[in-house]
Structure 1
Amino acid sequence: MEYQRYIDWIDDRIVEDSRRVVAVFLVATLIFTAGLGNISTNAGTSQFTTGLPAEEAFEQVNQEFSPAFSPDTGSTQLIQRGDNVLSKDGLLRMLRSQHRLEQKPDLRVQSTSSAASIVATKLDPTATSTEAQIRAVESATESEIDAAVRTAADENPRFTSLVSNDFNRGSASASATIGLATHEVPAGISSGSGQGGSSPLTGIQQRADYVVQSAAHGSITVFGSGIIADENARVLVDSLLLVVPAAVLFIIFFLIVAYRDLADLVLGMVTLLMAIIWTFGFMGLAGIPFSQMLIAVPPLLLAVGIDFGIHAINRYREERQAGASLEKAMRITTDQLIVAFFIVTGTTIIGFAANLTSALPPIRDFGAVAAIGITFTFLLFGIFLPAAKVEIDRLRERYPIPTFSTHPLGEEGGALARILEGGITVANRAPLVFLALMLLLSAGSGAYATDISTTFDQTDFLPPEENPDYLMQLPEPFKPGTYTVTEQINFLEDNFGSTQSGQTTVYLERPMRQDGALESIYRASEDPPDSFVREDGRAKATSIVTVIQDRAARDPEFRRLVERNDANDNGVPDDNLGTVYEYLLDSSSRDRTLQYLGDDYRNARIVYTVEADADNGDVTDDTQALANEFRYTAVATGSIVVFQAVSNLILESAITSLAVALAGTGIYLVLVYRLFEGRPSLGVANLVPIVVTVCLIAGTMRYLGIPFNAITATILAITIGLGVDYSVHVTHRFADEIHQKPLQQALEATVRGTGGALLGSMLTTTSGIGVLALAIFPALGQFGILTGISIVYAFLTSVFLLPSVLVVWDSVTNYDQPLRRLFDLGSPQQPVKPTEGDD
């Protein structure tokens, strides 16, 4: 066919100009190496929320309702633990920590607060500074402090939110408490909903931790978004230090088994290294940051590269074993494998690039980088490795370079060949029955998988609370660091769960001067949904209404203004709202007013408190339902709503990428088999094992309790991208063999030759990718396990199911083989050479 002249040209370059080809690829490697120094990192949840409509709305609301020209703020939690943190000694440790923080200009502390501060003001109402509060506690007796603690618990609701659930009013004791330090930080830090891989608070909180440790003698821990961001970055680096060396060790071991020759082993490893350098160099040159998701890219490239390398070397050895010269053996090898590699590369790119349909930027970056990396892998293993192999073997002919083995895997008569031919035995006796059973199993697995859960949470990106013992036994630098974030989060949830609650926001767009505007906000809190916190039967909310009520409670003049304009005496003004707002803006309540009322009086923000244990989906639905009750435009937003939007997009991304990958792969296979073999229906046969593999891996996800999350959402499309690799090699080899041999002999040659290479590839890539299970944060470990299982499924379906599919295909498309022979199960089918022609 017409494409053959291009294949012949490539064959000529590989065999006749091998030295020049190798030089060109080495120069390209140097160019990509220059990009490695430009790689930046991006970790945490903020990378997934950036650019989402819900996140943009949240940022817009925060920016619009921040006081003009005021700096942003960030907060640091001071987590104190002890036998009784409300004892005199415990209160003093917290207050002295607050005071030390306030005395450090570089920490930019605006204010501090704590349960200790509240108790101190009960002891001395004039103690408004932290220094005065320390004196008040120092001069008090233990009994006076206990009485002040009980008074604070009775009179100040905030006090109980700052002490642990085990607070005992009678003994005035608690095992933990939380303090808060507010910092002035560069603009923009407080407006987002996710945690990023870097934060202006990181340095502040690291310095604050040193100060607090000194003041509190180790009883208080500093915690906040900066600490989380720093740990995200460290976990990313530590995961790479664990995963990459482990993958290399496994890969070297199995490549030794597969190649059994030092020179071929070194060549394969060098080519793999070049594929990684090209891909990451491209990332640096293109400005794509490295994130947790992209940790999976090197193992995926290794998976495809190992497969290509083993197939190339194994096929070349088959021809050399048959007596072909060096040049002829390589021409036969590349003539066949470049087409197979091209098909595999195309389908793999489609599988990975299907993730470009995702609305989540990190998943799109993953799809793009993986697709580019696979393209580089095709060029390196399809052209560079064969050319380098030619050069090495020519040197072997001239110099005494040791040669350990030249035998291909799965050669005829071996034990491995007999195992691999099990699929042929089934295909000879009951292909249709076996195919039907597998399709039923796949359908059942797919139906079972419909209940896979979807999650998106900060904890997906954090390490476990305790690293496994076997990891802690590793020597430096592979031994993981000490991580505290997950422990602190779990501690807060366990000890402050009933007192800590989340928030959700409604952004209301309407003329706020209009009579009844405030009344509509007030009425919206009546009969709140179950996920909202209630106070006196109403939703606990903060808005311009609560600002007015708080001001009226302490300002008699303003209270009279409100009463004159309150038609129904419920404390909410109905008329002359512009006058009410102007009073607030001219008072000390200006900044707080602008947090909930737009400066042009055309929009407002209402923040509702929700139950700590409420499901994010329920909170989002309830917030949206509440927003829909307003007569004017109202938008549900806030961190919880944003995270739920990401969770929904994760599921949508998984389904969409799967559909695109399946459709794209199916169309592509039909077209390429029409082009290369004149039999487009081979593409349909090629797709069957892939569909079975996808159904099986989806069912496995549910069985193992692994949800779709930001990392595993890509697994179905990746299963197609990697799984098709195995079935394409079998199908394309079969298509080559069937031109010269009867059906039975074609299947045997295919499974013996290609099946052996596939087994070596499966063992190597499964172990290479499976080491992702060592990654320190759970989501990536789950991804590694699922990817390894999907490769095993792809191998098994390609070697044991695909022969039956090809027998059925032959019987359907070959006019000399009537369909009734499919039901003749009494004896093995007699091989009949297929007729020539198109489908």
Structure 2
Amino acid sequence: MSLSSLFEKMGKFADSNRWLVFIGFIVLILIAVYGATGITMYSGMDTYIQKDSKMYQDLDQYTRMFSEESIVIMVEGANVRDPALLKASERLESIMENVAGVNSVASPATIIKATNEQVTGRSEIPSSIEEVETLISYNPDIYENLIYDNTHSLILITYGNISEEQKADILAATKDAVNFASFPPGYNLIVTGNAALTSDMNVEMSGSMVILLLLAVLLMVVALGLVFKGVRWRLYPLVVVIFGLIYTFGAMGFLEINMTMVSIAAFPILIGLGIDYAIQFHNRMEEELRRSETRREAVISTFKYTGPAVLTALFVTCVSFVSLLTSSIPMIQDFGKLLIIGCIGCYTAALFFGTISLYFMDKLSERVHKKEEETGRKSIFSRIFPALERYKSETGAAEIIETEAAEDSTSNIITATLNKVIDFTLRHKKTIFVVAIVTGALGVYADSTIPAETDFKTYMPQDMPALVDFYHMGTVMGGSDAINIMIQTSDIASPHILKWMDEFGTYQITNQDYVYGTDSLANIVKDYNGGIIPDTREEVQAIYDQLPEGTMEQYSYGNSMLLLNLDVGSAVSDLPMDGVKTLVAIINEDLMWHQMPPGTTATITGSTIPYTELLDSLLSGRVQQTLLGVFLVFVALLLIYRDIYKALGPVLTIAMVIGWSGLVMYAFNIVYTPMTAVMGCMILGAGSEYSILLMERFYEEKGHGLPATEAMRTAVTNTGIALVVSGTTTIFGFLALTASAFGIISSFGLVTVINMLMTLLASFVVFPPLMLTFDNFKEKGFKQTMGDLKDSIFSIFKSNKKTEMI
């Protein structure tokens, strides 16, 4: 059974069960709305690294054993040693210690009370600043991590490995405690840390998604109003697309796909892509309603002829997005899933709901029209919905596009422009080949020089309150970065492993420019033993027994794991991420060369390491995804057409645009992020349709007996208007992305809009001469055509050379 026959049967079923189909889609809307309630906003490390990767598991192990996350309260004021301030901190501590999930609360008040008890026997905050300063002087080193200077101090609220919901609860309780603790006037308390960043980020993502969707809808209204003229219910395709988006939201909830800063960009993109499906079905249904004897015939014809054609475009688009699923970055995988699910949802909504609802709307229009003829006056429906008055209007739907465009001034302008373009293209096709190839190659080179940005804080809105506070704390407090090495051994009290740690740390300090010191139990044992590590296990264990429990927990876990921290100063902040990656690689190589005691292994980990993996994904991974996408689209077209030239034409045209994309990013100083890294696949998915539709019309005209050149001219001037309409609406959908507060999305939106414009340009300038060349391959043979092309290109250079000599 052919595809058209299958769709014809589907059309007959849909027409015979119109109310069932219509009501079924409304029920699906309700189910989707319910499913959407399960969507969660997420911005954690899981969005960058796959949970089953060794890097994530190492980081998770490090976090569970040695790292406790904290909510940080930075206190600013005249004098942070003020007893009134310290007593307020004490009240905050007593509140937070009773909050579920909180492991500990540390502040200057905690230590001052403990010191006062040791000195005077009274566990209380002194009543004067002088007494406080006297207590601090007994052991100033204890306070250095909590009191930065006279005007700044910290309160740390730590928690263990808990869920994001629990972290949000602790953050909310912290903000309440700050208010209830009654801090004295004149002091500013800033609640910051990763939990605060995550909380604000989730709020920003929710708000940004709503704004982007509303803006995309508004822009689409403008686009349809401008280019979809002379059509009844010309805004109705937008309603159909919104239904497709609702189905996508529902699928997200049921499939547990998290909403991330990348996936929120999928929905404006889906409006841009899905509107094309809705327009195609809307256009064909209106055309069939005008020329068919019955509405049943119109529905069946729309299914039979438009269904398979749009399905081919949908298939190629989804195939290009499949390559995103191979990314090592989970949020790009989720982005790819959403695009595939959303495109299928929009296509299904346009095919069934859009077509059947137009059936009912046309029927209502007829009834209103007849009633008005009987009564001689306009009905309330015509006043509210003017489109109802234009029952079976003589003005066409989007085939405006092809036959009746002459009545529309906009179409006349587009047609005239396309005629000039195709004339120019056919006259200068050899020059176009040279320019396209050279600029494409330059784009590939420029692309290789574009850096990647892996600092997730740069992806966020830079005026986000929690981020502003985070940067402010960093400016005031400073701090240094560390590379963490987990060492698994059979006995943490073995002198051999401690000596190895000491020697390895010394080697790193001596030989690495960016390693300034080490921090581990080896350092502490040396301090307790006169600067040397004991030779016996018993001596080491005796020192361990003297250490506070908190110190042992900070550097060891059980009797099998030790932690060695390498102080790299501000290297992580100052160096580009590829420099950090090189530093980590050198340290890892040193670990292999410095032989460890038998039964001992070492793993480099820490919060910085995952971003080196992200760097690889953005630089080399994106190239693999793009190449895979090109290959998959080529194979898909080859399977559909069983003609290598028909498969190569669209693919080579889009490949040229992918090359040009590198020039655009280079010109606008746009770096690679998890969003711009998918640009190649986006160009393939969104732009291949234009070349495919032009190619279909080209071969259709050839089948009618036109010579190849005239067939291409006819294809461009007739189908070209439809492509301009489709491309304009798609670009308007993408344009909404440029207004996002997230830099990662706005830069992606800018590049995407420019790339879509270049895709349209390539479809009318590069694709026609390319397909004509391929047509010559078929008629003359590959060898003779290539010889003619070579001679033509050389003649261009010879001509230029003679001009220069003159």
Deviation (angstroms), 1:101: 1.4
Q: Which of residues 624, 628, 631 in structure 2 aligns to 1:656? A: 624
Deviation (angstroms), 1:268: 0.9
Assess if the C-alpha contact under 8 Å between 1:671 and 1:680 holds in 2.
Answer: no
Correspondence 1:330-345 to 2 at 5 A = 334-345=303-314
Deviation (angstroms), 1:692: 1.4
Assess if the C-alpha contact under 8 Å between 2:516 and 2:569 holds in 1.
Answer: no
Deviation (angstroms), 1:786: 2.4
Task: Describe the superposition over 1:316-360 as per-residue Cα deviations: whole angstroms up to 9, x where unpaired.
Answer: 666778999877676665544333322221121122221111122
Distance 1:686 1:262, change over 3 A: closer
Deviation (angstroms), 1:238: 1.3
Partner of 2:798: none
SS for the counterpart of 1:516 is: helix
Task: Describe the superposition over 1:76-103 as per-residue Cα deviations: whole angstroms up to 9, x where unpaired.
Answer: 3232345xx4x4x774465244222123
Assess if the C-alpha contact under 8 Å between 2:738 and 2:749 holds in 1.
Answer: yes
Assess if the C-alpha contact under 8 Å between 1:448 and 1:699 holds in 2.
Answer: yes
Distance 1:97 1:450, change over 3 A: farther
Corresponding residue pairs, total: 746
Task: Describe the superposition over 1:443-474 as per-residue Cα deviations: whole angstroms up to 9, x where unpaired.
Answer: 11111110121222231442212xxxxxxxxx
Letter in 1 for 2:534: P
Assess if the C-alpha contact under 8 Å between 1:43 and 1:196 holds in 2.
Answer: no
Deviation (angstroms), 1:367: 1.4
Assess if the C-alpha contact under 8 Å between 1:454 and 1:709 holds in 2.
Answer: yes
- Which has the larger displacement, 308-317 or 414-423? 308-317
Assess if the C-alpha contact under 8 Å between 1:619 and 1:641 holds in 2.
Answer: no
Distance 1:113 1:334, change over 3 A: same
The answer to whether structure 1 residue 503 and structure 2 residue 503 are counterparts is: no
- Which has the larger displacement, 225-234 or 392-401? 392-401
Q: Which of residues 644, 664, 671 in structure 2 aligns to 1:707? A: 671
Letter in 2 for 1:367: G
Distance 1:330 1:443, change over 3 A: farther
Task: State how far apart, in whole Å, the 2-side matches of 1:621 and 1:308 are.
Answer: 49
Task: State how far apart, in whole Å, the 1-side matches of 2:449 and 2:664 are.
Answer: 12
The answer to whether structure 1 residue 181 and structure 2 residue 156 are counterparts is: yes
Distance 1:810 1:383, change over 3 A: farther
Correspondence 1:627-638 to 2 at 5 A = 627-632=591-596, 633-638=601-606
The answer to whether structure 1 residue 370 and structure 2 residue 370 are counterparts is: no
Task: State how far apart, in whole Å, the 2-side matches of 1:123 and 1:137 are.
Answer: 13
Task: Describe the superposition over 1:591-626 as per-residue Cα deviations: whole angstroms up to 9, x where unpaired.
Answer: 5335434534x4422122221244333542344244
Partner of 1:607: 565
Assess if the C-alpha contact under 8 Å between 1:347 and 1:665 holds in 2.
Answer: yes
Partner of 1:837: none
- Which has the larger displacement, 378-387 or 11-20? 11-20
Partner of 1:491: 472
Partner of 1:5: 5
Q: Which of residues 408, 419, 422 in structure 1 aligns to 2:420? A: 422
Letter in 1 for 2:664: T
Assess if the C-alpha contact under 8 Å between 2:520 and 2:555 holds in 1.
Answer: yes
Partner of 2:36: 36
Letter in 2 for 1:583: A
Partner of 1:469: none
Task: State how far apart, in whole Å, the 1-side matches of 2:687 and 2:166 are.
Answer: 33
The answer to whether structure 1 residue 544 and structure 2 residue 525 are counterparts is: no
Partner of 2:743: 778
Task: Describe the superposition over 1:790-824 as per-residue Cα deviations: whole angstroms up to 9, x where unpaired.
Answer: 22222221233222222222222234997488699
Letter in 1 for 2:325: L
SS for the counterpart of 1:525 is: helix
Deviation (angstroms), 1:438: 1.0
Distance 1:17 1:749, change over 3 A: farther
Task: State how far apart, in whole Å, the 2-side matches of 1:160 and 1:40 are.
Answer: 36
Task: Describe the superposition over 1:532-559 as per-residue Cα deviations: whole angstroms up to 9, x where unpaired.
Answer: 799xxx8522222133235x2xxxxxx5
Assess if the C-alpha contact under 8 Å between 1:525 and 1:539 holds in 2.
Answer: no
Correspondence 1:117-128 to 2 at 5 A = 126=119
Partner of 1:250: 219
Task: State how far apart, in whole Å, the 2-side matches of 1:120 and 1:340 are.
Answer: 78
Task: State how far apart, in whole Å, the 2-side matches of 1:807 and 1:334 are.
Answer: 32
The answer to whether structure 1 residue 592 and structure 2 residue 551 are counterparts is: yes
Distance 1:198 1:586, change over 3 A: closer
Letter in 2 for 1:221: I
Partner of 1:79: 74
SS for the counterpart of 1:75 is: strand
- Which has the larger displacement, 263-272 or 679-688? 263-272
Alpha carbon RMSD of aligned pairs, Å?
Answer: 3.8
The answer to whether structure 1 residue 110 and structure 2 residue 101 are counterparts is: no
Q: Which of residues 431, 436, 439 in structure 2 aligns to 1:438? A: 436
Partner of 2:696: 732
Task: State how far apart, in whole Å, the 1-side matches of 2:367 and 2:624 are.
Answer: 56
Deviation (angstroms), 1:774: 2.3
Partner of 2:796: none
Q: Which of residues 439, 442, 450 in structure 2 aligns to 1:452? A: 450
Partner of 1:835: none
Letter in 1 for 2:614: V
Deviation (angstroms), 1:662: 1.0
Task: State how far apart, in whole Å, the 2-side matches of 1:282 and 1:608 are.
Answer: 46
Task: State how far apart, in whole Å, the 1-side matches of 2:426 and 2:674 are.
Answer: 44
Task: State how far apart, in whole Å, the 1-side matches of 2:120 and 2:214 are.
Answer: 59
Task: Describe the superposition over 1:133-161 as per-residue Cα deviations: whole angstroms up to 9, x where unpaired.
Answer: x4241668xxxx6x999x79x96496399
- Which has the larger displacement, 103-112 or 628-637? 103-112
Deviation (angstroms), 1:199: 4.0
Partner of 1:583: 542
User: Which structure shows the bigger proportion of residues in helix conformation?
Assistant: 2
Partner of 2:389: 402
Task: Describe the superposition over 1:469-512 as per-residue Cα deviations: whole angstroms up to 9, x where unpaired.
Answer: xxxxxxxxxxxxxx312212322333333xx0112111223444
Partner of 1:797: 762
Assess if the C-alpha contact under 8 Å between 2:419 and 2:717 holds in 1.
Answer: yes
Distance 1:109 1:281, change over 3 A: closer
Partner of 2:724: 759
Distance 1:121 1:394, change over 3 A: closer
Assess if the C-alpha contact under 8 Å between 2:217 and 2:238 holds in 1.
Answer: no
Correspondence 1:511-526 to 2 at 5 A = 511-512=490-491, 516-526=496-506
Task: State how far apart, in whole Å, the 2-side matches of 1:642 and 1:816 are.
Answer: 53
SS for the counterpart of 1:738 is: helix
Deviation (angstroms), 1:129: 8.3
Distance 1:252 1:454, change over 3 A: same
SS for the counterpart of 2:73 is: strand
Partner of 1:642: 610
Distance 1:110 1:428, change over 3 A: closer
Normalised to the residue count of structure 2, the TM-score between the two structures is 0.83
Task: State how far apart, in whole Å, the 1-side matches of 2:257 and 2:29 are.
Answer: 19
Task: State how far apart, in whole Å, the 1-side matches of 2:704 and 2:246 are.
Answer: 41
Aligned-residue sequence identity (percent) comes to: 18
Task: State how far apart, in whole Å, the 2-side matches of 1:271 and 1:351 are.
Answer: 24
Deviation (angstroms), 1:520: 0.8
Task: Describe the superposition over 1:370-421 as per-residue Cα deviations: whole angstroms up to 9, x where unpaired.
Answer: 2122122222223432343344334444442222752513655512111123
Deviation (angstroms), 1:711: 2.9
Deviation (angstroms), 1:667: 0.8
SS for the counterpart of 2:673 is: coil
Assess if the C-alpha contact under 8 Å between 2:738 and 2:747 holds in 1.
Answer: yes
Normalised to the residue count of structure 1, the TM-score between the two structures is 0.80
Deviation (angstroms), 1:740: 1.7
The answer to whether structure 1 residue 226 and structure 2 residue 195 are counterparts is: yes
Deviation (angstroms), 1:276: 0.7
Partner of 1:347: 316
Assess if the C-alpha contact under 8 Å between 1:654 and 1:717 holds in 2.
Answer: no
Distance 1:620 1:251, change over 3 A: same
Assess if the C-alpha contact under 8 Å between 2:368 and 2:389 holds in 1.
Answer: no
Task: State how far apart, in whole Å, the 2-side matches of 1:531 and 1:216 are.
Answer: 51
Mark the runs of 5 or more structure 2 residues left unpaired by the alignment: 370-387, 407-411, 794-806
